[in-house]
């Protein structure tokens, strides 16, 4: 079997998906805009062939280059797990007549306004939202929806260029900052807890499901530098506060016509217990979320995704053994990491429950925390009891401190 994989080396999780395919005996044909010599060694080992293009994001230039490269070859799948390229992968599938999700289906996972319209048409609760392209349309939508509201790109990923707007004065100050966003979604702000619903699906049916909670919700975490954001997978998804979100997620997959692959959805639970859809992508969550899911059940979802899309099977156990938390650290100060306090004591206290650690080493320059959730590194912990998992995660958040100068 031959699979074309767009961007096999980026984002950082993609080499593992490349490995997952190769370990199943798949011939992986990679397409990227970096040179062969700069590919990670793991990717080089797992690729059967590679096409370098000037810019993967230039669809008009990239499509004919791939078409010429593949002429005369028999290809079984064309895939991408990076948000900006899922439409390109769908267009290539249609051009070559290869099975997989259509452009129209993928648009429902990429265009946030179309997404909400299709989910609402299925009778599921979504935030009130309007597509806006001009300042006048933003003001009209704000008057209709009311404050507070959320303003974010129609085709964005994560929380980039996403803002909570509490009043007209803030909206007036914000508009010049998002002038570069061609299309945005102006939508109702849902006040509540925020969770994910993640799946590996086979022909639209979830073969694997996951729920994780954001602590605090991303809009808060991205506005306060002193916070160490935590994401924790939920071991028991049959609890009353979680189960309705799982049912919502399944309904969303049906409404949007999901095929086979990874999905990553966000949803809310309000103080009144109302369950509300947020948004969804037909790709995995970033910031090591797949690693968290792997540690939750001691499985390899990188490989199981490959199995799902190539032969329509999922062979790993779906038993959830742990609640697994990742804690993202932001150094205090500016410049280079100068010391890390509290790490040795944290490891001594919680060694049996620590999965992995990837903090920036001493001497490394700080990362811009506004541009990456990973920030200045992370710790990952797990425990079979939810309260104990959060206790350990909170200890990592409060007791481990990086300093920069």
pLDDT tens by residue, the chain, 405 residues: 999 999 999 999 999 999 999 999 999 999 999 999 999 999 999 999 999 999 999 999 999 999 999 999 999 999 999 999 999 999 999 999 999 999 999 999 999 999 999 999 999 999 998 989 999 999 998 999 999 999 988 876 656 678 889 999 999 988 888 888 888 889 999 999 999 999 999 999 999 999 999 999 988 898 899 999 999 999 999 999 999 999 999 999 999 999 999 999 999 999 999 999 999 999 999 999 999 999 999 999 999 999 999 999 999 999 999 999 999 999 999 999 999 999 999 999 999 999 999 999 999 999 999 888 899 999 999 999 999 999 999 999 999 999 999
Pick the closest to residue 342 from 282, 397, 284 (CA basis): 397
Q: Is 254 exposed, middle or buried (0-12, 13-18, 19+ CB in 10 A)?
A: middle
Token digits of residue 50: 């590679």
Phi, psi of 75 (to 5 degrees): -115, 135
How far, in Å, CA of 235 to CA of 384, rounded? 7
Three-class SS of 303-332: HHHHHHHHHCCCCCCCCCCCEEEEEECCCE
Q: What is the pLDDT of residue 370?
A: 86
Q: What is the pLDDT of residue 189?
A: 92
How far, in Å, CA of 224 to CA of 167, rounded? 20
Measure the N-to-C terminal CA separation of the chain; round to a whole number of Å.
52
| Distances in whole angstroms, Cα of residue 251 to Cα of each of 57, 205, 364 | 31, 11, 45
Phi, psi of 123 (to 5 degrees): 85, 20
CATH code for residues 128-188: 3.30.1490.20
CATH code for residues 191-321: 3.30.470.20
Q: What is the pLDDT of residue 303?
A: 98
Would you call 66 helix, strand, or coil by DSSP?
helix
Phi, psi of 117 (to 5 degrees): -65, -40
Taking 3-state DSSP, the helix, strand and coil percentages for the chain, each rounded to the nearest 5, stand at: 35, 30, 35
Pick the closest to residue 33 from 66, 77, 3 (CA basis): 66
| Distances in whole angstroms, Cα of residue 325 to Cα of each of 77, 341, 352, 380 | 34, 20, 14, 6
Q: Which residues contact 271 (CB under 8 A, 6 or more apart)?
A: 191, 192
What is the per-residue DSSP string for 150-217?
EEEETT--TTTT-EEE-SHHHHHHHGGGGTT-SSEEEEEPP-EEEEEEEEEEETTEEEEEEEEEEES-
Q: Which residues contact 261 (CB under 8 A, 6 or more apart)?
A: 79, 81, 101, 200, 201, 282, 283, 305, 308, 309
Cis check: omega of the bond before 171, within 30 degrees of 0? no
Beta 354-359 vs 205-215: how paired, if at all? unpaired
What crossing angle do the helices spanning 301-311 and 289-297 adopt, rounded to 10°? 100
Q: Are 87 and 6 in contact (CB under 8 A)?
A: no
Residue 130's CB is within 10 A of a number of other CB atoms, namely 19
Q: Are 265 and 109 in contact (CB under 8 A)?
A: no
Token digits of residue 268: 């809310």
Q: What is the pLDDT of residue 28?
A: 98
List residues bridging with 380 in a β-sheet.
Answer: 326, 356
How far, in Å, CA of 320 to CA of 228, rounded? 25
| CATH fold of the domain at 2-100 | Rossmann fold (3.40.50)
């Amino acid at each position: 079997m031959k699979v074309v994989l767009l961007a096999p080396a980026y984002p950082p999780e993609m080499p593992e998906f490349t490995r997952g395919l190769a370990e199943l005996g798949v011939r992986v044909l990679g397409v990227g805009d970096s040179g062969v010599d700069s590919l990670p060694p793991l990717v080089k080992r797992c690729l059967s062939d590679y096409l370098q293009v000037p810019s993967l994001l230039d669809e008009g230039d990239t499509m004919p280059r791939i078409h010429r490269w593949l002429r005369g070859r028999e290809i079984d799948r064309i895939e991408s797990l990076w948000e900006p390229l899922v439409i390109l992968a769908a267009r290539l599938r249609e051009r070559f007549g290869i099975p997989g999700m259509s452009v129209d289906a993928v648009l429902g996972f990429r265009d946030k306004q179309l997404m909400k319209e299709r989910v609402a048409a299925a009778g599921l609760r979504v935030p009130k939202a309007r597509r806006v392209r001009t300042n006048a349309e933003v003001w009209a939508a704000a008057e209709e929806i009311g404050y507070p509201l959320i303003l974010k790109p129609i085709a964005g990923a994560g929380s980039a260029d996403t803002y909570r707007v509490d009043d007209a004065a803030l909206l007036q100050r914000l508009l010049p900052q998002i002038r570069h966003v061609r299309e945005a979604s102006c939508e109702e702000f849902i006040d509540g807890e925020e969770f994910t619903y993640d799946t590996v699906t086979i022909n639209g049916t979830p073969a694997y499901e996951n729920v994780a909670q954001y602590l605090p919700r991303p809009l808060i975490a991205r506005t306060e530098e002193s916070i160490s954001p935590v994401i924790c997978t939920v071991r028991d998804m049959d609890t009353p506060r979680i189960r309705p979100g799982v049912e919502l997620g399944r309904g969303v997959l049906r409404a949007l016509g999901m095929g086979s692959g990874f999905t990553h959805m966000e949803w809310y639970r309000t103080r009144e217990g109302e369950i509300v859809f947020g948004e969804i992508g037909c790709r995995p969550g970033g910031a090591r979320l797949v690693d968290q899911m792997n540690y939750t059940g001691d499985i390899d979802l990188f490989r199981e995704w490959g199995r799902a899309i190539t032969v329509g099977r999922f062979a790993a156990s779906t038993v959830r053994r742990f609640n697994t938390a990742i804690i993202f650290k932001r150094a205090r100060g500016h410049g280079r990491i100068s010391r890390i306090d509290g790490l040795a004591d944290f490891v001594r206290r919680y060694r049996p429950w620590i999965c992995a650690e990837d903090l920036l080493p001493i001497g490394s320059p700080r990362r811009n925390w506004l541009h990456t959730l990973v920030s200045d590194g992370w710790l990952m912990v797990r425990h079979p009891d939810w309260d104990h998992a959060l206790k350990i995660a909170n200890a990592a958040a409060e007791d481990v401190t990086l300093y920069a100068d």
